[in-house]
């Protein structure tokens, strides 16, 4: 091949590589558009704008904090402890690689994809704590989850040199453990300290149905998340210019991801429809649970097996949601069940059905034992800081809004606007009381 042609091919390969992740970032932003619609619809009308603003702020705060802290942690902690490797030094915010460096054009695009993963973890928690958490407390929790907790799990279990791969043979290509399970258990820890919404449970423990103000908007939001999930999964593979590898460096194809993502969606929806007896919210949430259920092994599953695993995972999540209600854990959007429950289920299924399958060279083969150990570590990594930090905020009386504000709606106290103004009296919150203004 003539030198000029070879140079042109290398340039085109580099451009295609960058463009692949550029599109991944763009599609992942649809996840956040979906979460905004999903949670706004799930809220009551008195909390709609506060919910939307909370989502926007979480996105902005986590992306910024991930630049300063998160990317460094991912590159410094694959061994389990801090190590100032060359990659860690290059990930420091004052490094040349963390800016418009022409010699290393890929750093920013990879950082961007991981920053969107980080923001997604905050959005997973966001829906569960609707209608009673202080915005300031939520942003503190989202920052710690998105820029510290999950990325340590990613360094341990998703990095090609992470100790979970090199010592346990962990297989979690679609981040069911290091994103969804960690975010789900972190959220559970927060919910235990936050408590349920006012009126959610009767004195005798009976569950009261607090209905979304706009269920179709919630369902549309989940459909947008499904679209964005294809961008999420693009970020779970490495495009080499000649083909694709998993995050661990083993060969794969986009066909494997397409088969099992779509079969996971289909299986999860059907499974949740059956066990929830057609309840719309759980039915469509089952699609997300189905994809997460196959995420750990979606590069290796036969699509028929992926469908069956997703069918079981989708069927499981409404039952987990009902179990949480029995313990008076008020998870507005079922985040603990969908992300935490399906994330744990995904790791177990990969251990059962892929046990003995070889990992990348020099690393242990996939095993049920390795998957279970990783499950416990991920769950603890999420739950302990989620519970501990929210407990501190609770003791400081900074976690939850006052009862009067919660009863009147967070929009009155936090947002200088009205979502549905036609025919609605103009009201303000003063000294813990709602006052109607004459205009």
Tens digit of pLDDT at every position of the chain (439 positions): 455 434 544 544 555 678 888 999 999 999 999 999 999 999 999 999 999 999 999 999 999 999 999 999 999 999 988 888 888 999 999 998 899 887 777 788 889 999 999 999 999 999 999 999 999 999 999 999 999 999 999 999 999 899 999 999 999 999 999 999 999 999 999 999 999 999 999 988 899 989 999 999 999 999 999 999 999 999 899 887 778 999 998 999 999 999 999 999 999 999 999 999 999 999 999 999 999 999 999 999 999 999 999 999 999 999 999 999 999 999 999 999 999 999 999 999 999 999 999 988 889 999 999 999 999 999 999 999 999 999 999 999 999 999 999 998 998 888 877 777 665 555 555 555 656 544 4
**For position 18, what pLDDT does the model report?**
82
Q: What is the DSSP letter of 393?
A: H
Could you tell me whether strands 244-246 and 427-430 are parallel, antiparallel, or unpaired per DSSP bridges?
unpaired
CA–CA separation, 349 and 171 (whole Å): 11
Q: Minimal CA–CA distance to 157: which of 386, 374, 380, 370?
A: 374
End-to-end Cα separation, the chain, in angstroms: 78
DSSP-derived secondary structure for 219-261? HHHHHHHHHHHHHHHHTTEEE-SSSEEETTS-EE-HHHHHHHH
Q: Which residues pair with 322 in a beta bridge?
A: none
Q: What is the DSSP letter of 159?
A: S
131: left (phi over 0), alpha (psi -120 to 50) or beta: left
SS3 329: coil
- Cα 161 → chain centroid: 23
**For position 101, what pLDDT does the model report?**
80
Residue ranges per structural domain of the chain: 9-252+361-394, 405-436
User: Do residues 288 and 222 touch, judged by C-beta distance below 8 A?
Assistant: yes
**For position 362, what pLDDT does the model report?**
86
Q: Interhelix angle for 150-157 vs 182-194, to 10°?
A: 150
In the chain, what's the furthest Cα-to-Cα distance?
Answer: 81
CA–CA separation, 139 and 51 (whole Å): 12
**CATH code assigned to 9-252+361-394:** 1.10.3430.10
- Please work out, in degrees rounded to the nearest 5, the angle formed at the alpha carbon of residue 118 by the alpha carbons of 114 and 123: 140
User: Do residues 199 and 210 touch, judged by C-beta distance below 8 A?
Assistant: yes
- Cα 52 → chain centroid: 17
**For position 13, what pLDDT does the model report?**
57
CA–CA separation, 268 and 286 (whole Å): 5
**For position 5, what pLDDT does the model report?**
38
CA–CA separation, 86 and 89 (whole Å): 5
Calculated CA dihedral for residues 83, 121, 293, 229, nearest 10 degrees:
-110
**For position 12, what pLDDT does the model report?**
47
CA–CA separation, 285 and 333 (whole Å): 9
**For position 17, what pLDDT does the model report?**
72
CA–CA separation, 307 and 268 (whole Å): 8
SS3 32: helix
**For position 310, what pLDDT does the model report?**
98
């Amino acid at each position: 091949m003539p030198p000029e042609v070879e140079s042109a091919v290398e340039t085109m390969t580099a451009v295609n590589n960058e463009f692949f992740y550029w599109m991944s970032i763009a599609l992942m932003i649809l996840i956040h558009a979906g979460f905004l619609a999903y949670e706004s619809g799930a809220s009551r009308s008195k909390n709609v704008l506060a919910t939307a603003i909370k989502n926007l702020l979480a996105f902005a705060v986590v992306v910024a904090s991930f630049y300063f802290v998160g990317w460094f942690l991912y590159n410094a902690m694959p061994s389990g402890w801090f190590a100032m490797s060359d990659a860690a030094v290059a990930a420091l915010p004052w490094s040349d690689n963390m800016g418009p460096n022409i010699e290393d054009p890929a750093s920013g695009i990879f950082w961007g994809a991981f920053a969107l993963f980080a923001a997604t973890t905050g959005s997973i928690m966001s829906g569960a704590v609707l209608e009673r958490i202080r915005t300031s407390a939520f942003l503190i929790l989202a920052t710690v989850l998105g820029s510290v907790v999950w990325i340590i799990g990613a360094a341990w279990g998703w990095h090609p040199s992470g100790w979970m791969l090199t010592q346990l043979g962990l297989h979690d290509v679609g981040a069911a453990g290091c994103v969804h399970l960690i975010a789900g258990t972190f959220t559970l820890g927060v919910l235990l300290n936050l408590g349920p919404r006012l009126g959610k449970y009767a004195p005798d423990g009976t569950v009261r149905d607090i209905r979304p103000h706009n269920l179709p908007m919630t369902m549309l939001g989940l459909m947008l998340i499904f679209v964005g999930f294809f961008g999420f999964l693009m970020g779970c593979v490495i495009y080499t210019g000649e083909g694709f590898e998993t995050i661990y460096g083993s060969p794969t194809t986009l066909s494997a991801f397409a088969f099992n993502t779509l079969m996971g969606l289909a299986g999860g929806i059907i499974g949740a429809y059956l066990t929830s007896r057609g309840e719309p919210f759980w039915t469509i949430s089952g699609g997300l649970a189905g994809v997460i259920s196959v995420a750990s092994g979606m590069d290796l599953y036969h699509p028929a097996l992926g469908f069956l695993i997703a069918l079981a995972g989708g069927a499981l999540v409404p039952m987990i949601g009902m179990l949480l209600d029995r313990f008076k854990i008020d998870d507005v959007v079922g985040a603990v069940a969908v992300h935490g429950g399906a994330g744990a289920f995904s790791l177990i299924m990969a251990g059962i059905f892929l046990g003995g399958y070889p990992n990348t060279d020099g690393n242990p083969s996939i095993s049920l034992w390795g998957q279970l150990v990783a499950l416990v570590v991920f769950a603890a990594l999420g739950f302990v800081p989620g519970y501990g930090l929210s407990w501190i905020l609770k003791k400081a009386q900074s976690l939850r809004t006052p009862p009067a504000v919660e009863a009147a709606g967070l929009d009155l106290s936090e947002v200088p606007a009205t979502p549905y103004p036609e025919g609605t009296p103009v009201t303000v919150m003063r000294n813990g009381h709602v006052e109607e203004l004459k205009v």
